[in-house]
Structures are given as structure tokens and as C-alpha cells.
Amino acid sequence: MRSTVRQVFSQENIEYTAAIPYEACRVVRPYLVERLGFAPRTAILFLVPYYAGQAENLSCYAAARDYHLYMRNLFARICPTLSQASGYSFAGFADHSPIDERHAATIAGLGMRGENGLLIHPRYGSFVFIGELLTDAPPALLGGQEPIAPAPCCGCGACHTACPSGFLRGEGEGCLSAITQKKGELTEREQQLVLTGGSVWGCDVCQAVCPHNAIAMREESYTPIPFFRQDRITRLTEEALAAMPEEAFALRAFSFRGRAPLARNLQLFSTYSRK
């Protein structure tokens, strides 16, 4: 069973997986567990690397199409395959998960806990999406390991110093990533922060300065998963946003807030550049 799981993930170019007993996980959305129709015994955590170079004015996770779409399609492929091969049930989650994913991935040994709040993998750094399969198969069948104590990052403090909004220093208006995604008008201070950050969606500053991401940002560490290498937007413009058909817009991670926050931020940059 363990080798089948490895093979299934390997066919998807997903290299880093780890199984832990479900009882070691922190359940944060119990209603999702109740809907499963089976009692989970094992959580298989896996990392989906997405880095394929920086984007000019978008957080690099948002340069490719929406990872929720990727995960949905991935689960539709691998869960039935694993169920048929084993006779057990499998259900996949990412982001909206029954468990605290970052905690589960760190105790499964998939990475360190960064002071910027992100999981950091030795090769792919913090440029990873965390996904998990819950199954009623027992941990022993899946090579399940005992959870380990979460390992901290080196604590260099570079992310604290560089954080443009002061969020990591416990100051200011909140994380700049959230500010760029905010609906409605921005305050003057928020506008200044967006202009300083240089991004119309998200903020990568604490990832860009993290020494543990140096290897991840080399070309040889770019994601091996075609979905995240193709159809990337590395610079969004007002014209491109206005011309983007609704179906294409809906495929993007930034679509869940609608077009208005992006249009407002883009306009902010063009107004500033004319001054």
C-alpha cells in the first residue's frame, strides 16, 4: 500500500509525502470530518511546489492558475485510484481542510516552521502548497511515522526586518497581502504600503528575504509540475485585466475577490507613475 501511494504521487511529480496517525493532527473543522462518511485513521501530507520564477507585480503563487483547481483535479484522479487499489476510503483536502495543515506538515517532518508563519521545505522552501489525504487505512499500512516536534527556522529575523507593513513586528495595519485583497477604498496609509510593496495582489517580501528560500529560487528547483509552469501571468496590467474573459478570470487565484480590488490597485500604480 505504501508503494502504491508513492507511485501514485510520483506519477503526479509530487515527491514529498509523509503519513502520520490522524489522531496526531489538530482538527480545526470537525464538520468536514463528519461529512466524510468514514473515520479517518491516517493523514497523508504532501507538498506541491509552485515556484517558477518571480512575477513582477503579483505574488508568485498567483502567477499560475488557481491551485485549488489543480488540487481538485488531482484528488479526482488519485483518490479513486487509491481506493480501488486498497479497498479503503480516501478524501483529499487543501486549504479548506479539517486539520491544521501547517502543523500536520511540520510534525510529519515535511519542513520547518518559519517565523513568517509559513512551512519551509529544505528544497522548495516556503513556495509550496500543502495538501492532505485522509483515509481509514491504518498508519502501519502506509508507512506512517510517529509525529516529531515541529522544527523552527534559523530565526535570522530577516523577514521581521523586511516586512513592509510591520505585521511581523506586531505593528501597523496588518499583512500587506490582506491589504491588497481588501474590498472597497484603501486608506492613505494602505495606499502607500501597496505602492511600497510593488504588488497588486499579495506580498512575497518575507519569502524573498528568507535564507531558507535561496535554493528554492534557483532555476533547478523550479516546480516540476506543469500546471504551475504554464499559463503564468507575470505582470498584470489594467488593459489585460479589463480584456480578460470571465472564464479565464475565474481560473485565477485572485478571482475570489472579484476584479475591483485588482482594478483599484492597478489604478493606484498608474496614478502614482503619472505624478
CA angle 37, 38, 43 (to 5 degrees): 125
CB 198 within 8 A of CB 272: no
Burial of 218: CB neighbours in 10 Å, binned 0-12, 13-18, 19+: exposed
210 belongs to the binding site for ligand SF4 (CB under 6 A) = yes
Q: How many residues bind ligand SF4 (CB under 6 A)?
A: 25
**Secondary structure class of 132 (helix, strand, coil):** strand
- List 60, 64, 203, 233, residue binding ligand SF4 (CB under 6 A): 203
- List 49, 114, 131, 147, residue binding ligand SF4 (CB under 6 A): 114
55 belongs to the binding site for ligand SF4 (CB under 6 A) = no
* DSSP bridge partners of 54: none
CB of 157 to ligand SF4, least distance (A): 5
Q: Is the dihedral of CA 112, 108, 125, 90 positive or negative?
A: negative
Burial of 230: CB neighbours in 10 Å, binned 0-12, 13-18, 19+: exposed
CB of 158 to ligand SF4, least distance (A): 4
Site string for ligand SF4, 140-179 (x = CB under 6 A): -------------xxxxxxx---xxx-xx------xxx--
Stretch near ligand SF4 under the rule CB under 6 A, chosen from 17-25, 127-135, 200-208, 266-274:
200-208
CB of 213 to ligand SF4, least distance (A): 7
**Distance (Å, rounded) from C-alpha 18 to C-alpha 146?**
10
CA angle 188, 63, 49 (to 5 degrees): 120
**What are the percentages of helix, strand and coil residues in the chain, rounded to 5?**
45, 15, 45
Instruction: State which amino acid sits at residue 271.
Output: T
Q: Indicate if 95 belongs to the active site.
A: yes
Q: Report the half-sphere exposure of 185 (CA within 13 A, side-chain side).
A: 2
60 belongs to the binding site for ligand SF4 (CB under 6 A) = no
CB of 243 to ligand SF4, least distance (A): 29
Residue in 95, 100, 136, 231 annotated catalytic: 95
Of 155 and 245, the one with the shorter C-beta distance to ligand SF4 is 155
CB of 67 to ligand SF4, least distance (A): 17
Of 113 and 264, the one with the shorter C-beta distance to ligand SF4 is 113
Among residues 275, 269, 267, the alpha carbon closest in space to that of 198 is found at 269
CB of 37 to ligand SF4, least distance (A): 37
212 belongs to the binding site for ligand SF4 (CB under 6 A) = yes
- List 106, 116, 135, 223, residue binding ligand SF4 (CB under 6 A): 116
Active centre residues (catalytic): 95
- Write out the residues near ligand SF4 by the rule CB under 6 A: 114-116, 153-159, 163-165, 167-168, 175-177, 203, 205-206, 209-212
